[in-house]
Structure formats: C-alpha cells, structure tokens
Chains A and B, each alone.
Chain A
C-alpha cells in the first residue's frame, strides 16, 4: 500500500530544511528524503562567516545540524535515502530503495555536487591525493605541497583552509582572473603560503600509487609544465543534481531545473524547485534557505487551490 503525503521534499541542504520547517509549521506534515549527502554542501566546509545572525561564524556542519533539529521539532519525517525514481502527476509517485510514496506536491531541493576535471589519473588517484573535500583530507598533507584547481569562492576557501596544513598551496586556474568574491581573493593573495598559476589548464594527474604531480599547459603560451605536488584538491564548480529528474521535468542546458521567475514553480503543476538545483546565479546558502521558504509557501498555496 502506498502512503499518500501532502508534500515530499527531496534534499537536505539549507533549501530543503527551510522548506521543511515552513511546511511543517503550515501543518502539511512534510516528508523529507534527505539523499546521501545529508546536510548538503555546507557539511564539506569549515567556518561559514557570511551567514546572517552568526557574527562569529559557525561551522557548516553545526549550522546544518541546527536546521535538522528545527525541521524535526516541527514534525518533519526524515527518510535518509536517495530518490531512485519520480513519475506521474499529482499525486506523484516517488521511489527510494525501500519505500514508495505518493505526494500531492513535491519540492525539489537536491542542490549541486562538485565537478571533476575529467583528466587522466584523476579517478585512479582519488583517495590517493586527489580530493574534493579540503576539510576532510587536508589533514593528510601536513608540510606537503598542494594544488587547488579552480577560480571561484570554493577554490579560494579551500586554498586558505589548506594553508593550516600545507607547506605551499598553488591555485591553478584556466583563466586570467578569478571569479571569486573580492574578500576571498584578497585573503588568498595576502597569504604567503599561497601561489597562483593563471591561464593554466590541468591535463593530467601523475603518480603511481599516490599523487606526485600534475601536468599543466598555459593556454596563452601553450607551454607545458609539470607542477610537483603531493595532493590536488578539485574546486572548479558544481553541477546540479538532476540526473534522476531527466525526462520528468524541464531542465536548462546545464541541467538546472527551470523555474518561473519570481517563483519556485516549475513546468509541472505541484512541483517546486529551490536552492542550488535551480539557482546558478547566486549559489549561496542564505539564498537557498530563502527560496526554500518560498517553495513551502508556493506548495501550501497550490495545495489549497486544489481543494477550493
């Protein structure tokens, strides 16, 4: 027998938890399917300094634990599994490994995951010096030389964080300028342990049973260089977690869910999208939380309009 719910929230980052808090307080008895990365991208960071209301900064993991507590406090049911399939039209049929749930409304808040370079050696040496989580793995590179690939806020933050352990951190970016925020760039530039290689693409990660270097090419001069290092942290950007939604809902060219401007409504009545899975302009935790509350309000009003 399938269970029929008012609203199912897919994802457990700031967007998902905020949607859950609002939906629970609106007496919708929401069910959250959290996915594998419970808490989302913020669980991979250390200090979050720009969350309004936390002047001394807060650990990403702690902030997400607080959101989870709040969602549970108001009565959210949390299922710690991945959605394997979604189909139908209200009520929608959502499947996980162990359950099948029918939902009148769905809020998609699956966020985005780190992208990989896709170069030779990268996959082979994952866990052996190739990493996408500085807070997890920086520990193993005390006194060593590290490369961070990327030019955005994530790359700057990872580079700065890694100076706690590393001897030297080299940020390698394929363009002339960073796209990170000014505050983050300044912080990295002022750090004596951080060096920069611009206009440089990484062609290969080298090493037998652990990383010993990267082969790079300067896109302006075409010169190839090998930068020796013991570890490389990939921070080149994120791609939206929408593979499971292909064919079900409208996605843009990069895989982001298309929403109606000024709303979280999608092309499917009763399905709403919030957070980084729909936003590739701002990609901030506080914006995700904001759109999460919008999604819950949109879903509540839509459900009411269905019974009128």
Chain B
C-alpha cells in the first residue's frame, strides 16, 4: 500500500480514476496497528478501490487540511472530492460496507 505525503497526495489521489480509501494513521497508535492487517485484507479483496495511507506524524498538514482530529480516520474520495470520513477501528466487513455506500 502506498504511503502518501503532501508532495504526492494531490497527484495520486485527485487524479485517480477509481475511488480512493485513505487511512490516516501513526506508528504510536494502537488501534491504527490493529487496522493494518484489516486494511491489507480489504485492499487485496477490492482492486477496484485505490487504498493509500497517510502517516499524520510525517504529514500533519494533510491531517489539518482534512480536519482529521483522531486516528485512525478513514476517508473516501471520488472524483477528487471527499464523500465520506469516519474514525476508529472496525472489522473488515464494517469497513467494506462504509466504503461500498459511495461506490
């Protein structure tokens, strides 16, 4: 899964033809670590979605830009716009359902 920062975010996300699922995380966050294998499994099963990660430690400006106040926060973007944003750890099934609402 690609790790994005301020330099790469716009070119990758805004220009993606498929919907994008962004995982805002940090290495010191327990629930974020719990979500890592869940996200991996989800990405493997949904090649129609571009799944990317943003480490808020390394890209705090991105976190601020999207009003991220908690991690993990998941954001779904389509056509360059944010369509959904939700926070917390969850099962793969719940994650898939939240994303599917917009796809």
Contact = CB atoms under 8 A, between A and B. Distances in A.
A210 B29 contact: no
A60 B30 CA distance: 9
Nearest to B34: A38
Interface in A159-215: 209-210
A274 B85 CA distance: 37
A210 B85 CA distance: 13
Nearest to B64: A140
Contacts of B80: none
A53 to B, nearest CB: 22
Interface residues of B, number: 28
B79 interface: no
Nearest to A137: B70
Contacts of A80: 37
Chain A interface extent, by class: 20 to 34
Interface string A44-87: 10000000000000001100000000000000000010100000
Contacts of A39: 30, 34
B19 to A, nearest CB: 20
Nearest to B74: A127
Contact of B69 (A36, A38, A82, A129): A129
A127 B69 contact: yes
Contact of B71 (A43, A61, A137, A209): A137
A213 to B, nearest CB: 15
Contact of B89 (A37, A131, A137, A141): A37
Nearest to A38: B34
Contacts of A38: 33-34
Nearest to A81: B91
Contacts of A231: 69
Contacts of B56: 139
A135 B69 contact: no
Given A37-B34, A43-B33, A137-B71, 4 more contacts: A36-B34, A36-B91, A135-B30, A136-B31
18 contacts: A36-B91, A37-B31, A39-B30, A39-B34, A61-B33, A126-B70, A127-B88, A128-B67, A128-B69, A128-B87, A133-B30, A133-B70, A136-B29, A136-B31, A136-B72, A137-B69, A137-B71, A140-B70
Closest 5 CB pairs of A and B: A127-B87, A43-B30, A127-B70, A136-B29, A137-B70
